[in-house]
Structure 1
Amino acid sequence: MELQQLVTDVHEILAANGDYTNLSDAAVYQPSIQVDRKNVYFILHEANGKQVAKSLVVYEDRAQVADFDARESVQDANKTLVVGDLNETNWHALVKRFAWVKPTSRHGYKYTFGLGDRLGNASNAHLRLFKGRGIMPVLAQQSIRELLLTNRTETDVVLDAGWAVFEEGYTDGWAADGDHVKNPHEVDYAVKAGCSMITLDCTEKIHNEIADLSDDELDAKFNALDVDLVKYFNETYLDKDFQISDQASVHFSKKDVEQSVLIFFGAVEYAEFIYHKFVVPYNLDFEISMDETIVPTTPANHYFFANELHRKGITPETLAPKFYGEFQKAIDYIGDIDRFEREYVVHEAIAEHFGYKLSIHSGSDKLSVYEIIGRLSKEHGWHVKTAGTNWLEALRVIAHVDPKLMVELYKFSYDNLDDVKAFYVFNAQTDGTAPKPETINTDNVMTLLSDDDARQVLHTMYGSILNLQKSYRYVYRDRFFKILKDHQALYDKYLNAHIAEHLDLLQGLAKTKAEVQAKYEPTIQ
């Protein structure tokens, strides 16, 4: 792009007085245009084959513009126009000028939704979908495991989301989640990268082995605790009933007390440590994951955890119990829907009583329970986390554009599924009901994205697919990303149709899974 043409574009923008519908230069991405007095900022889109090359254009007073890392520049009277890359230096310069470009607290937002963009190119589409929805998007949401498997850093994740926010002119607020951080150095990493919230994964402090003890073994282990602790826990909870709403109460039997203490009290103490070391000093939103257990969180477990936090003066922004049923990756809820609803009423009442919202982990594709969550959530609302959706919708693009490659990716995933069994709980085993690779061909490959078992195989293998190398070169990664970038519009369409299914049910715009599938799925065939 000629610099003088960009100067002309700037003057045209200034003369337009906020109405940019008739700008003469189609390369100026209109949603990104920001005017501050006589300073102008926007993203430039230049065609580069099937892909779009993006640059930042800034037009500012000469004394100010030095904040930006300029690739090219030109003087115009007392102003300087610079063209720069979408890099970290330029993002921080924009943050100084526009606070909404930076991730912020979820506090005050009733409904929040985690999007977990693993690949770094889904946030633009998501932001277009979320405009006007009244839901705060958590665009950046990656666990350490996901960062390692995708060869990205926490900074990469925040920057990719932050640039999308500026590009789409999304001023309603967004958050960045240091997801499933387990220890202080992981928390510190997320904080220093700019995350506005952390999700504390208490796996290492939750003692699942307690659930397997006999009553006598449980009683012996509990009574081996310090006598003052035993006295306190028994006096506070044993045989007590806690009325937490008109619809819900919690009773503590002897077993409830002992299991709650021995499984979860170490996690409560650890949450207190993280709270004072990081959450308070850095003004973070605090989510606690207590769902890393082998059995569902009982109402007594949940009440105990929340009450002990309350005693310590801690109210998390969100807390994630392990709900009844199975929340496996990339497929719908498995379990008794009626029982889920009955138990959700109690968990929601506990959350409301203590002043936080419930967080639904592994929320991707749980279409059968969203209407319940949306209908039953009260004053504090809900937080739903999704992640695998983006990856699978990217694979939908691959299947559509290069079905032969998709057949190859599925065969590789199916044959190497043992690589990820330690990381994920899922039903799709190589000796189970997942489609056999020999039954998949270029004519039926799209069916993989609607088959639960195939979806799980493909979902769990994203790291193996992206990182496979032969002779020091990636086997799939470069081909995969080139197709995705060449067909970004198709990817955007797939992404938003699928996430819209989630949001419509959560917001009460639809009542059933069948209803949203009938509405959106014809657009992704």
Structure 2
Amino acid sequence: SGFGADCDHIKTTEGIDRGLDAGFVMFTLDPGDMVADVTAGVSEADAAALPWDQLEDSLEALKQRYVGMALDVGHSQIEVTEQDVLTAAVKYGRAVVESMRLYRHVTENAKHEVEIEFAVDETAWLTTFFEHFYMASELKRLGASWFSFAPRYVDGFEKGLDFLGDAEELRTNLEAHHAISQQFGGYKISLHSGSDKFSIYPLCVEATQGLVHLKTSGTSYLCGVEIVAAHDAELFSAIWDISRASYVEARASYQVSAHEDRTPTSLEGVDLLELIRSNDARQILHVGYGDSLNGKDASGASIHDRFLAVVAANQAQHTDVLAAHIGKHVSPFAAPLAR
């Protein structure tokens, strides 16, 4: 009867086509590769070099729309300067063009109803409040509609761990992003790398008045790893060795702070469940899932196949572990609905 799933962080029309063929109903479109580094500053000449024909716009018209406006971000107002406008356009202008290219491909080729999220969170640079407003305003002007948007937030969103940043700074950040979304119909603010951020879930619900999208599939894999550790220590050891070895390269693609040299090379005498729940090992196992599941054990057997076999053989226990884990994520978001 169909299924609900997110075709996540799609950057190509080929990825969209595969998702549509598979029946995905949600597409997170990621133009992050087109976001420009503006940390050295931008000039009017940089802005003039943007692809204005594809933006269906001009630099003068852009400045007329935004320069001098008072942007309401809920707890305060921001006066938008010409430099703010130039910076936002240079930083995100090409990302707007790419977003629309991907958006049009989805909507023109979908044979079933789909929902769209735009995501620029997997970039190195914080999305300012005006930059969020600029992207939303430009995408709307060009005809896009979406149900969720993921800006790049304040730091603290690492893979597999609770929030490590300043919670009150995050609250202020989310309140402002929510206030901006309200000016375009009230779409959800999306929290990527949201797994295990238990301490901030109530805050996220309050700051966004419940209009929040939590992405939390990642650490469900670690529930399966717990079952493997409990029933097949040799298989867990193979997964650990591959994950630990691959972490040196894998960490370049994620926001993580684990150090493999703080974790054991030998598992003899180690409490495996305690290891899995420790911060360093948890991140190493979390981002090492791909290399592990695509790997082979010492005998050449598929780790993927062995992993699934262990989980299937202990399905009741796995269900209990997974239900508790996902339930701990979902309950803070369900509570407002019950009131």
TM-score above 0.5, yes or no: yes
What pairs with 1:439-478 in structure 2 (closer than 5 Å)? 440-469=267-296, 473-474=300-301, 476-478=303-305
Indicate whether 1:196 and 2:25 are aligned.
yes
Gaps of 5+ in 2: none
CA contact (8 A) 1:202 1:292 kept: no
* Equivalent residue number for residue 417 of structure 1: 247
Cα–Cα, structure 1 residues 190 and 226, in superposed 2: closer, same or farther, change >3 Å?
A: closer
CA contact (8 A) 1:417 1:461 kept: yes
Report how far residue 281 of structure 1 moved: 4.9
Query: Which has the greater radius of gyration?
Result: 1
The residue type paired with residue 364 of structure 1 is S
Cα–Cα, structure 1 residues 493 and 218, in superposed 2: closer, same or farther, change >3 Å?
A: farther
* Equivalent residue number for residue 172 of structure 2: 342
Quick one: distance in 1 between partners of 2:221 and 2:258? 17
What pairs with 1:367-378 in structure 2 (closer than 5 Å)? 367-378=198-209
Cα–Cα, structure 1 residues 442 and 497, in superposed 2: closer, same or farther, change >3 Å?
A: farther
Q: Which moved more, 1:190-199 or 1:405-414?
A: 405-414
Ranked by relative contact order (alpha carbons within 8 Å, sequence separation 6 or more), the top structure is 2
Quick one: distance in 2 between partners of 1:399 and 1:226? 54
Quick one: distance in 1 between partners of 2:114 and 2:198? 30
CA contact (8 A) 1:206 1:292 kept: no
Q: Which moved more, 1:334-343 or 1:259-268?
A: 259-268
Query: 1:478 is paired with a residue of what secondary structure?
Result: helix
Cα–Cα, structure 1 residues 197 and 416, in superposed 2: closer, same or farther, change >3 Å?
A: closer
| Partner of residue 499 from structure 1, selected from 323, 326, 337 | 326
| Partner of residue 97 from structure 2, selected from 269, 288, 296 | 269
Quick one: distance in 2 between partners of 1:429 and 1:239? 47
The residue type paired with residue 2 of structure 2 is K
Query: 1:354 is paired with a residue of what secondary structure?
Result: coil
| Partner of residue 185 from structure 1, selected from 10, 14, 20 | 14
Report how far residue 452 of structure 1 moved: 1.2
Query: 1:291 is paired with a residue of what secondary structure?
Result: coil
Query: 1:459 is paired with a residue of what secondary structure?
Result: helix
- Taking structure 2 as the reference length, what is the TM-score of the superposition? 0.88
Report how far residue 184 of structure 1 moved: 0.9
Task: Name the one with the larger strand percent.
Answer: 1
What pairs with 1:88-487 in structure 2 (closer than 5 Å)? 101-103=1-3, 175-207=4-36, 209=37, 211-214=38-41, 217-225=42-50, 229-243=58-72, 245=74, 247-279=75-107, 281-282=109-110, 283-355=113-185, 356-378=187-209, 381-431=211-261, 434-438=262-266, 440-469=267-296, 473-474=300-301, 476-487=303-314
Report how far residue 226 of structure 1 moved: 7.6
The residue type paired with residue 190 of structure 1 is G
Quick one: distance in 2 between partners of 1:360 and 1:393? 21
The residue type paired with residue 476 of structure 1 is I
CA contact (8 A) 2:157 2:194 kept: yes
Query: 1:199 is paired with a residue of what secondary structure?
Result: strand
CA contact (8 A) 1:296 1:323 kept: yes
Q: Which moved more, 1:308-317 or 1:410-419?
A: 410-419
| Structure 1 consecutive aligned stretches of length 4 or more whose deviation exceeds 4 Å | 223-228
Cα–Cα, structure 1 residues 252 and 480, in superposed 2: closer, same or farther, change >3 Å?
A: same
What pairs with 1:56-95 in structure 2 (closer than 5 Å)? none
Query: 1:469 is paired with a residue of what secondary structure?
Result: coil
Cα–Cα, structure 1 residues 185 and 324, in superposed 2: closer, same or farther, change >3 Å?
A: same
Cα–Cα, structure 1 residues 472 and 254, in superposed 2: closer, same or farther, change >3 Å?
A: farther
Cα–Cα, structure 1 residues 299 and 475, in superposed 2: closer, same or farther, change >3 Å?
A: same
Report how far residue 308 of structure 1 moved: 0.9
Quick one: distance in 1 between partners of 2:16 and 2:9? 9
Quick one: distance in 2 between partners of 1:242 and 1:368? 30
CA contact (8 A) 2:148 2:188 kept: yes
Quick one: distance in 2 between partners of 1:467 and 1:488? 22
Task: Name the one with the larger helix percent.
Answer: 2
Quick one: distance in 2 between partners of 1:322 and 1:333? 15
Quick one: distance in 1 between partners of 2:123 and 2:190? 15
Cα–Cα, structure 1 residues 226 and 457, in superposed 2: closer, same or farther, change >3 Å?
A: closer
CA contact (8 A) 1:466 1:474 kept: no
Quick one: distance in 2 between partners of 1:392 and 1:471? 22
Cα–Cα, structure 1 residues 442 and 393, in superposed 2: closer, same or farther, change >3 Å?
A: farther
Query: 1:454 is paired with a residue of what secondary structure?
Result: helix
Cα–Cα, structure 1 residues 253 and 436, in superposed 2: closer, same or farther, change >3 Å?
A: farther
Report how far residue 309 of structure 1 moved: 1.4
Q: Which moved more, 1:267-276 or 1:460-469?
A: 267-276
C-alpha distance after superposition, 1:12-46 (max 9, x if no partner) = xxxxxxxxxxxxxxxxxxxxxxxxxxxxxxxxxxx
Report how far residue 224 of structure 1 moved: 4.4
Report how far residue 280 of structure 1 moved: 5.0
Cα–Cα, structure 1 residues 451 and 293, in superposed 2: closer, same or farther, change >3 Å?
A: same
Q: Name the % identity.
A: 28
C-alpha distance after superposition, 1:431-490 (max 9, x if no partner) = 4xx42223x435511112221111000011111112223799335333322211100111
- Taking structure 1 as the reference length, what is the TM-score of the superposition? 0.59
CA contact (8 A) 1:181 1:198 kept: yes
What pairs with 1:16-27 in structure 2 (closer than 5 Å)? none
The residue type paired with residue 213 of structure 1 is A
Quick one: distance in 1 between partners of 2:14 and 2:137? 28
C-alpha distance after superposition, 1:276-320 (max 9, x if no partner) = 332255232111112132122110110111111121232211111
